[in-house]
């Protein structure tokens, strides 16, 4: 999942909509055993195209991180300019969330949600994570950090300690033969990871929207044959409407939709109302919302969590 908003867009992320953010924050506040804190540092960075850059994280603090693949999301904590490391009261244990909220905004670590693009175990031991960021200039703290990240820069992750964890959303039912994936650039890291994970015998219909032709990425041959790249904006709904794919019988579709919240809602309405896809076979996430910043969405998520903390902890 890329974290993102209209201005500060990590791709891959799950920058998330308020709902997804609230879920992960509820996990964190409740100290769910599936997740833990992991210290990491930047190993290297590589520009993938005009819109995307890939940050590779590593270090001994990542030992035990257990990505479930697909659209695995985690919380990334970043330092403010001038800080050597993100400020987060990890020592507070289960109470870290309340103490983090109580810190001054100019001091407490910046928190964003992202998708693990890939995880590698190194030959000599240890692990590395690739995290893709969609860049939109100096319009948000995460975008600024990613554009300037250098080897040795320190971050903190709240991520999975077990591979089968509730922050993996892509879960096609047994027997699924056809998978529909529709995503804009903010969800491209998750979409690409999903396409790499799919078994060989699954038919793929993928629609991936990116701002520039240079943002198109290489995919596995079995996924590339069923993938249509859309260069521009607001193209996903029209492309999916015009596509032909089965929705009944043994080839019943499982759909994964992610990107701008309004677009995702329109896609889901089309699949359910016009295609007859079972709504239970659609996983959807609004990674950002047109007209709302990441800070707006984060504030909504935190307000929702604080208004019913007991419910949030119980769900986690």
In a domain, 263, yes or no: yes
With 80 as the cut, is the pLDDT of residue 92 above it? yes
Please state, in angstroms and as integers, the Cα–Cα distance from residue 134 to each residue in 112, 115, 188, following that order: 13, 12, 9
In a domain, 87, yes or no: yes
pLDDT confidence band for 305 (50 / 70 / 90): low
What CATH number is associated with residue 158? 2.40.30.10
pLDDT of the residue at 294? 66
Entry pTM = 0.87
The string of pLDDT tens digits covering residues 17-27 is 333 344 444 44
Q: Please say whether the dihedral angle defined by the alpha carbons of residues 55, 61, 67 and 72, taken in this order, is positive or negative.
A: negative
Taking the C-alpha atoms of residue 18 and residue 304, their distance in angstroms, rounded to an integer, is 9
pLDDT confidence band for 245 (50 / 70 / 90): confident
pLDDT of the residue at 291? 72
In a domain, 9, yes or no: no
pLDDT of the residue at 19? 37
- What is the average pLDDT score of the chain? 86
CB 57 within 8 A of CB 68: no
Range of the domain at 248: 178-288
Q: Mapping DSSP to helix (H, G, I), strand (E, B) and coil, where does residue 49 land?
A: coil
Q: Mapping DSSP to helix (H, G, I), strand (E, B) and coil, where does residue 173 land?
A: coil
Strands 52-58, 127-134: parallel, antiparallel or unpaired by DSSP?
antiparallel
Taking the C-alpha atoms of residue 117 and residue 129, their distance in angstroms, rounded to an integer, is 7
- CB neighbour burial string for 126-141, b if at least 16 within 10 angstroms, e if fewer: ebbbbbbbbbbeebbb
Same domain, 32 and 107: yes
In a domain, 6, yes or no: no
pLDDT of the residue at 306? 66
What percent of the chain shows pLDDT beyond 70?
Answer: 82
The string of pLDDT tens digits covering residues 24-68 is 444 444 445 799 999 999 999 999 999 999 999 999 999 999 999
Same domain, 228 and 303: no
Tokens of 238: 């029209």
Average pLDDT on 145-153 reads: 97
pLDDT confidence band for 76 (50 / 70 / 90): very high
pLDDT confidence band for 89 (50 / 70 / 90): very high
What is the distance between the terminal CA atoms of the chain, rounded to a whole angstrom? 19
Tokens of 188: 């491209």
| Residue 34 DSSP class | T
In a domain, 11, yes or no: no
User: How many C-beta atoms lie closer than 10 Å to residue 93's C-beta?
Assistant: 9
With 80 as the cut, is the pLDDT of residue 15 above it? no
Same domain, 185 and 255: yes
Run of H or E residues at 223: helix 221-224
Same domain, 143 and 261: no
Taking the C-alpha atoms of residue 221 and residue 233, their distance in angstroms, rounded to an integer, is 26
pLDDT of the residue at 30? 43
Average pLDDT on 131-144 reads: 87
pLDDT of the residue at 11? 45
In a domain, 5, yes or no: no
In a domain, 184, yes or no: yes
pLDDT confidence band for 14 (50 / 70 / 90): very low
Distance of CA 28 to the CA centre of its chain: 16
pLDDT of the residue at 221? 87
In a domain, 171, yes or no: no
With 60 as the cut, is the pLDDT of residue 194 above it? yes
Same domain, 142 and 258: no
Lowest mean pLDDT among 76-80, 137-141, 182-186: 137-141
pLDDT confidence band for 137 (50 / 70 / 90): confident
Same domain, 243 and 300: no
Same domain, 91 and 26: yes
**Residues near 239 by Cβ (< 8 Å), separated by ≥ 6?**
182, 207, 228, 230
User: How many C-beta atoms lie closer than 10 Å to residue 154's C-beta?
Assistant: 18
Taking the C-alpha atoms of residue 237 and residue 169, their distance in angstroms, rounded to an integer, is 21
What CATH number is associated with residue 258? 3.40.50.80
Please state, in angstroms and as integers, the Cα–Cα distance from residue 277 to each residue in 207, 267, 272, following that order: 17, 11, 5
Domain tally for the chain? 2
């Amino acid at each position: 999942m890329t974290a993102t908003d209209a201005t500060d867009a990590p791709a891959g992320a799950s920058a998330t909509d308020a709902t997804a953010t609230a879920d992960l924050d509820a996990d964190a506040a409740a100290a769910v055993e599936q997740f833990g804190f992991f210290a990491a540092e930047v190993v290297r960075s590589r520009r993938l195209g005009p819109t995307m850059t890939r940050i590779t994280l590593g270090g001994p603090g990542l030992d035990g991180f257990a990505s479930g693949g697909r659209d695995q999301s985690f919380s990334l904590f970043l330092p403010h300019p001038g800080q050597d490391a993100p400020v987060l009261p990890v020592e507070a244990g289960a109470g870290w969330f309340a103490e983090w909220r109580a810190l001054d905004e100019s001091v407490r670590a910046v928190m964003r949600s992202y998708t693990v693009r890939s995880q590698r175990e190194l030959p000599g031991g240890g692990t590395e994570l690739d995290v893709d960021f969609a860049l939109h200039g100096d319009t948000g703290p995460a975008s600024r950090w990613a554009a300037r990240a250098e080897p040795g820069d320190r971050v903190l992750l709240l991520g999975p300690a077990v591979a089968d964890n509730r922050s993996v959303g892509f879960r096609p039912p047994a027997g699924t033969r056809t998978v529909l994936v529709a995503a804009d650039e903010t969800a491209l890291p998750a979409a690409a990871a999903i396409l790499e994970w799919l078994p060989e015998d699954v038919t793929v219909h993928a629609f991936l929207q990116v701002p520039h032709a240079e943002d198109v990425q290489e995919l596995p041959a079995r996924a590339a044959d069923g993938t249509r790249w859309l260069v521009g904006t607001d193209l996903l709904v029209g492309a999916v409407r015009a596509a032909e794919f089965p929705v009944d019988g043994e080839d019943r579709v499982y759909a994964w939709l992610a990107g701008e919240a309004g677009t995702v809602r329109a896609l889901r309405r089309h699949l359910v109302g016009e295609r007859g896809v079972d709504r239970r076979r659609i996983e959807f996430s609004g990674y950002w919302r047109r007209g709302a910043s990441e800070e707006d969405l984060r504030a909504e998520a935190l307000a929702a969590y604080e208004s019913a903390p007991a419910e949030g902890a119980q769900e986690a």
